[in-house]
Structure 1
Amino acid sequence: MHVVVRALSVLTALSDRREGLTLQQLHRELDIPLGSIHRLLRTLESERFVQRSPQTKRYSLGPSALALGYHQQFDSYLIAPPEPLLVAGRDSGETVFLTRMVDSRVVCIALVESRHPLRLFVRVGQEMPLHAAASARIVLAHKDPTLVEALLTGHQLEAFTRGTVREVNQLIDHLATARRRGFDVCRSELDDDVWAVAAPVYDAAGHVECGIALAAAAGRVETIERRADYTEIVMRAAEALSRAQGYAGPIATPTREELLALYSGGDSDNPFDNGTTMKKAP
């Protein structure tokens, strides 16, 4: 029973510290002998209740611990918008939201609404389709390929618009490119005349369970400069949240010139081009 109490104490301490705690910090805060807490953490890590960042050496809650709070409405995962999300919403004026993978679904867990009169219908607790939303695909892009194929073939890939991609191999290729570039874009795939961009959020161990997305009416992002602006805003927010969670590894960050070339259609390996001609700002 004593070991169980100590394990619960560790999980409680980590639940209050999003950036994670080192072995020494846990030892001091919980007054558990170093040898005992080291053995306890090894057991919890082997069962995926905690995870340790190889860069910062900090422990944080793992997938098994987070899954304990799961229920159908996802209420236990909903959070107040973190600061990077608020900054992205303020800088863009658009709808910005945070998604998280829960079991085999990706759910909106925090939201900053657009300042514009015409807002997009995204709600906290909403499940995002794995194949048709950049906010879901950017998380899926960082998962094991075997799991990705199983999820895509195991879900009904609904055609939400004429632009919805439903072919599994095409989606898998798209995910690989999004992972390499560090962001994903969705154009009229989930909703007509809606453009969205999303970037991954890394936890302390370098895993991706969350993503930050920005969605806007297509009429407000007609120029390549505006789309590059919004992509940079989302990627900055995702990097800030990743660093706040203790991630110290590399993050793909395209230059301004690379983004402009991509959105101008000058890149022949552009998976985001649906054939429409982009405008340049006057």
Structure 2
Amino acid sequence: MSEAKQARVGADSARRVLELLFAFSEDRPVASVRELADRTEVPLPSAHRYVALLRELGLVAEGERGRYHLTPRVAALGRAAQAAASLIDLAEPFMRELAHEIGETVLLAQLVDGRPVCVHRVEANRRLRLSFEPGQDLPPVRGASVKVLVGSMAEADRFAYIDRWLSGGADAERQRAEFVDEVTQAATRGWSTSSHEIDDGVWAAASLITEGEKPVAALSAACADFRLDDDHRKYIVDQVRATAERISRAVRG
């Protein structure tokens, strides 16, 4: 099977999994696999496979008589989506102003259900090729935004997160030590940088957005490293930090 055909098959499967998830509603909060298959016109064997995947992801749970219902994790994702949408609306003009000022791509990232996610992106005139799109998870232990988000966690949660993603093996121990050091710095400063950590040739600076004492998101600028010298990097860090503070003031109202 060609790569293009594999991609289409994968996208079709993902779409059908989501269709099963959306088949639940306030009026129909529980359903058997057969009922879900009938509602979505997904073949019954495939529906069983997709429901098993949703169970594995913790999005549905089995109740009495083989009938399934959504879990609180779905509600949490819904609340996160609503919060992200509100934040995006508020942050958008600041992000566009920053992208215009520095001529670089600006991103907004949040922790969603314990995972770092890029929730919004504003492109500069000089577009930058990145390996992720808005809505996608970020690599869990790489990148300036991730360091800032993990650094904003309570210490116990921070180390639980690090232990979840970095455990086992000599190389993992080295990575863990380096990541802990960088996250600790980010926690102290409220900002961080990264170089070639997610995408080759990309340098980034990120700063924390807060609502009072509560961490809300990370604002970052992703830049082509070859265009930068030390003075320009410092300038971008200063602009990102200033914009994150302006968004934080707007969030606080």
Which residue pairs with 2:241 in the alignment? 235
Amino acid corresponding to residue 215 of structure 1 in structure 2: A
Please give the residue correspondences for 1:1-282 in structure 2 after superposition, counting only pairs within 5 Å.
Answer: 68-70=75-77, 76=82, 77-78=84-85, 79-80=88-89, 81-155=91-165, 167-204=175-212, 206-221=213-228, 223-246=229-252
CA contact (8 A) 2:132 2:138 kept: no
Counting matched residue pairs gives: 173
CA deviation after TM superposition for structure 1 residue 240, in Å? 0.4
Residue 97 (structure 1) shift: 0.8
1:144 CA drift (Å): 1.3
Conserved? CA contact 1:113–1:119, under 8 Å: no
| Amino acid aligned to 1:100 | Q
Separation in 2 of the partners of 1:126 and 1:87?
24
Structure-1 separation of matches of 2:173 and 2:109:
21
Contact 2:130 2:199 in 1 (8 A): no
Ranked by relative contact order (alpha carbons within 8 Å, sequence separation 6 or more), the top structure is 1
- Larger % of helix: which? 2
Shift in alpha-carbon separation, 1:122–1:236, aligned structure 2, 3 A: farther
**What is the percent sequence identity of the aligned residues?**
25
Q: 3-state SS of the aligned residue for 2:133?
A: coil
Cα RMSD for the two superposed structures: 2.7
The structure 1 segments of at least 4 consecutive aligned residues displaced by more than 3 Å after TM superposition are 65-69, 74-81, 117-122
C-alpha spacing 1:203/1:75, structure 2 compared with 1 (3 Å): closer
Unaligned 5+ runs, structure 2: 1-71
If the length of structure 1 is used for normalisation, what is the TM-score? 0.55
Deviation per CA, 1:199-223, whole angstroms, max 9, x where unpaired?
000113x1113010100111111x1
The whole-number CA distance in structure 2 between the counterparts of 1:128 and 1:191 is 11
Q: Secondary structure at the match of 2:252?
A: coil
Which amino acid is the alignment partner of residue 176 of structure 1?
T
The 3-state SS of whatever aligns with 1:179 is helix
Say which one has the larger Rg: 2
Instruction: Quote the Cα distance in structure 2 between the aligned partners of 1:152 and 1:135.
Output: 15
Once the two structures are TM-superposed, the CA of residue 122 in structure 1 deviates from its matched residue by 3.9
Structure-2 change in CA distance of 1:118 and 1:84 (3 Å): closer
The TM-score with structure 2 as length reference comes to: 0.61
**Alpha-carbon distance change, 165 to 236 in structure 1, aligned in 2, over 3 angstroms:** farther
CA distance in 1, matches of 2:138, 2:92: 20
Unaligned runs of 5+ in 1: 1-64, 158-163, 248-282
Measure how far apart 1:238 and its partner are: 0.4
